Structure 1
Amino acid sequence: MVGHNWAGVLQPSDATKPAQPGGCVQCHPGLGAKPNPVEKLSQADEENVDCLLCHAPGYRRTVVKQGDKFEIRPAEGVDVLAAARAVRRPTDDMCQRCHLGAGGGPNAKHGVAPTSPAVDVHLAKGIGCVDCHPTKNHRTAGGADIKANEAPEVAVACSGCHAPDVHRGADAATLTRHAARLACQTCHIPAIARDPKFPTVVRRDWTKPVLNEKTGLYGPANQLASGVRPEYRWWNRKMTVPPEPLGDRADPAAKIYPWKRATYTVVGDARTGKPVFIKAGLYAVKGDPLAAARKGAEDTKQEFSGAVKGVEESMLFSLNHQVAPKAQALACDACHRAGGALDFEALGYPPERVKALTAPRR
């Protein structure tokens, strides 16, 4: 588990490297003050918003230290007045200021990356982030698998644009029937990170710090991959905690969706085997998991033995971006054969039904 700094300036151990802004505040659209919990939001929280972060082209900001406090300031060279005069509906570039960094970089988690139109049909059609993620009173609708969803009453789904009878041709009726239990993404996102320029994280190890020679800061060891095949699970658009999709074959609200599984080796307590919150800024500067765990446990008042070991966890990420051209969608025999894309047994089908579903198609 990573206990992030809210705001900070990270000075690499190599003094020849410049100090860099750090902390969650870089992306949270506030003016620097840490917001209250959702159930305790005040008028001050409502006013603690940097509108330019989402609405001004070319706007950038940084973290500076004033005395013993950290403040948000416009980045060097940014004309705030010009930025304010240029405000507009958010563009993809504005959304990507923050979302490209989720999980450490482009495509690290769900498939958000500035990929090519050949990889994403929506990008090819000029469809932007806010076309699928609408807002109401400045609350943005997100995916149902994320913890912080500002507008849970709004379902971000393919059906928001595509009618149930979208399929054409001789197989249209069959495909429409399948859509009752198969999410569109299952057939139309056959793999994630199909663009080799933007591989995705499939394994991350926080016990093995890696020095970034360019920045002088440390990060976890990452295993990246391209063309990653999804894992398929039933999902009724509700999640457990820790996050796992809810639903099964008997659930009428569930459909089969594609997911990306990532495995993490986190810093854990050697005595209890439980994950320890680490101080992300200290980890980045020192590359010392033990020191980061000590400080993280101290800050969060977590019991800690003083010794660490790796603890393995995994997480599933829903796949909704990078929808492939229809010629690349899964064909019938991609699933309906022995060893096909769908593991029907794992999805809860009885043996006789599995045999029928995997029999050679005529």
Structure 2
Amino acid sequence: MPVLNKPLRWMMRWLLLLLASPLLMAGGTADHHKFEVLQQDFETLQQLNDACVSCHTEAPAQLHNTIHWRWQFEDKSGHLQGKLNVMNSYHPSVASNMDSCDNCHIGYGLEEQELSGIRPDGVVDCMMCHDTTGEYFYSKFHQDGAKCLNCHDDGAEALKEQTKNQPSRFTVTLTTMAQQVGMTTSSACGACHFHDGGADGAKHGDLDSSLLNASHELDVHLSADGASLTCSSCHQGNDHQMYGSRYQANSPIDDKGVDALNGARATCVSCHGDRPMQDERLNDHTDRVACQTCHIPAYARGGVATKTFWDWSKAGEKDRRRKPIIEYDEAGRVIYASQKGAMQYGETLRPEYRWFDGQITFAKPGNPVDPATAVMMTTIGGGAEQTNSKIFPFHVFRSILPYDSEEQKLIPMQLAGRGREAYWNGYSWEKSLQAGAEAAGLKFSGEVGFVETTMLWPLNHGVAPKEQALSCQQCHTGEGRLGRVAGLYIPGQNQSQLLDQLGRLLVILTIVAVLTHGTLRIIFAWRRKRNEPDN
């Protein structure tokens, strides 16, 4: 069988991707302006979405079975994983803050009970993903009663500057939105995924609004000067089930390729193969080094900062009139708020590197705490001895969280709600943790302490072109980037100063010995010649 040259292989791959995803080019096969059910003046968002599912009758059942709706899934061991069951270092628990967190859910005012036991007539929010006007997100959050601080939060002043040049909102009616639905856009995905964690770009480090108009140097995939892809170009699937969840991630060695039906699999190797570069010396690295390691040389580099540290123990301070305090940095980001404590941000940050097999174990409510060490809120699977692991870049986020100091275990805190038990209302950690413990089915001793936590987020976005990728010297030097990766030997980096000195000494002694030996041979040869009798 003839072997295709590289340019032809690339052409075939992209042709397969485009043929497998015709709707990305065509924008759909139906003109929604002509549908009679959409020829009405919608007064509420729910009326609009009811009209959607009157035709798309299977969509609710499909969505009810996805992690986007359930926020949880059952792993191979039968344990429940996902957002609804784990804790993080930001707003630590969804289950204890449903009154606030459910605003980002693809439904209306959901509670934990509905997520766990879905009603057949549960209303899905089709427009959240399929709006193409860019205005539905704003309508949803204002009409659906979301609290202002859900969005106008830690990036408050910075957000004002960011939106000055954006067009005014609420200029399109719900009817117009309904008639202009289409395939998902990066803007629709980013409405939730860019802004979680309290501000634009706050949480993940590689997901923020700068990707919507990315330059080629910032992201070769999303840039109009690059591949001009959207989020759904890689995060594809069938029946609303999508690839790429951090809770159900594919391995970095996933090389199953682009599926003719499902499209891309949200891994680099699935599209590019495992030897994508023209330089075979670089291809020799790809079995143990993920593409992201070299092609994401820094993150939060699009002009939007990400959070690096959050100290909840500092929360609760008020001014002399007992009013909450808020302080900003020079960029307009909140660095202190009475409701949240102290925060730090960073831009153009160097990743930290770990072996990674695609599996992440998240901390859960009730996990044990050793106050003498930082609590790992995410445990990364993989190791140097495992052939399914590659070296991968991570955003490291650190936080100081309250916990049950007597029982020494993690307890969720309730932040939002209408009662005084919500910390943002009553400023009582004891009441907040008591309510959080009840939401998680735990007992709380009443004793509150604070412990440092660490959370690792794998970096996949903000992929730089080869011109901005890491150079050989950035790894193969004494102070190289990969020096802290366990079980890794890198020529030129893993050096011992004592061994180097011994090596130099041996070289010097060898040279001295050779010179001495040569000199002695010359001397003795001269003496022999001198003592030889004349013939």
Q: TM-score, normalised by structure 1?
A: 0.78
CA distance in 2, matches of 1:181, 1:306: 48
**Counterpart residue number, 2:401:** 266
More displaced, 154-163 or 175-184? 154-163
**1:247-283 Cα shifts (integer Å, max 9, x gaps):** 1112111111111111121111232332221112123
1:33 correspondence with 2:110: yes
Letter of the structure 2 residue corresponding to residue 84 of structure 1: A
1:156 correspondence with 2:295: no
- Contact 1:273–1:311, Cα closer than 8 Å, also in 2: no
Matches within 5 A, 1:158-237: 158-168=268-278, 172-195=279-302, 197-209=303-315, 211-212=325-326, 218-237=339-358
CA distance in 2, matches of 1:301, 1:244: 23
1:238 correspondence with 2:359: yes
Letter of the structure 2 residue corresponding to residue 123 of structure 1: L
**Counterpart residue number, 1:131:** 233
- Contact 2:313–2:402, Cα closer than 8 Å, also in 1: yes
Shift of 1:186: 0.4
**Counterpart residue number, 1:12:** none
CA distance in 2, matches of 1:165, 1:297: 50
RMSD: 3.2
Residue identity (%): 30
Q: 1:165 to 1:306 in 2, by over 3 A?
A: closer
More displaced, 237-246 or 256-265? 237-246
Q: 1:34 to 1:135 in 2, by over 3 A?
A: farther
Q: 1:7 to 1:354 in 2, by over 3 A?
A: closer
More displaced, 121-130 or 86-95? 121-130
> Which SS does the other structure have where 1:237 is aligned?
coil
CA distance in 2, matches of 1:263, 1:48: 37
Of residues 207, 228, 234 in structure 2, which corresponds to 1:112? Answer: 207
**Counterpart residue number, 2:120:** 43
CA distance in 2, matches of 1:271, 1:198: 40
> Which SS does the other structure have where 1:262 is aligned?
strand
> Which SS does the other structure have where 1:233 is aligned?
strand
CA distance in 2, matches of 1:301, 1:38: 16
1:294 correspondence with 2:434: yes
**Counterpart residue number, 2:477:** 337
- Contact 2:234–2:265, Cα closer than 8 Å, also in 1: no
Of residues 383, 387, 398 in structure 2, which corresponds to 1:252? Answer: 387
Shift of 1:201: 1.5
Give unmatched runs, 5+ long, in structure 2. Answer: 1-86, 147-168, 255-261, 317-324, 329-333, 364-377, 417-421, 501-535
Letter of the structure 2 residue corresponding to residue 147 of structure 1: Y
Matches within 5 A, 1:91-110: 91-110=185-204
- Contact 2:315–2:338, Cα closer than 8 Å, also in 1: no
Matches within 5 A, 1:50-61: 50-56=125-131, 57=133, 58-59=135-136, 60-61=139-140
Letter of the structure 2 residue corresponding to residue 166 of structure 1: P
**Counterpart residue number, 1:303:** 443
- Ranked by relative contact order (alpha carbons within 8 Å, sequence separation 6 or more), the top structure is 1
Letter of the structure 2 residue corresponding to residue 100 of structure 1: F
**Counterpart residue number, 2:220:** 121
Higher strand share: 1
Give unmatched runs, 5+ long, in structure 1. Answer: 9-22, 66-74
Letter of the structure 1 residue corresponding to residue 127 of structure 2: L
Letter of the structure 2 residue corresponding to residue 142 of structure 1: G
Q: 1:265 to 1:78 in 2, by over 3 A?
A: farther
- Contact 1:36–1:42, Cα closer than 8 Å, also in 2: no
Q: 1:225 to 1:286 in 2, by over 3 A?
A: farther
**Counterpart residue number, 1:72:** none
CA distance in 1, matches of 2:382, 2:219: 28
Shift of 1:97: 1.2
Which of the two has higher C-alpha Rg? 2
Task: Number of aligned residue pairs: give it.
Answer: 324
Of residues 461, 470, 487 in structure 2, which corresponds to 1:348? Answer: 487
Shift of 1:174: 0.7
> Which SS does the other structure have where 2:209 is aligned?
coil
- Contact 2:400–2:451, Cα closer than 8 Å, also in 1: yes
**1:166-207 Cα shifts (integer Å, max 9, x gaps):** 323xxx001111011110000011111123x31111211222
Q: 1:285 to 1:213 in 2, by over 3 A?
A: farther
Higher helix share: 2
> Which SS does the other structure have where 2:360 is aligned?
coil
More displaced, 307-316 or 205-214? 205-214
> Which SS does the other structure have where 2:384 is aligned?
coil
- Contact 1:236–1:253, Cα closer than 8 Å, also in 2: yes
Q: TM-score, normalised by structure 2?
A: 0.55
Letter of the structure 2 residue corresponding to residue 87 of structure 1: V
CA distance in 1, matches of 2:198, 2:426: 18
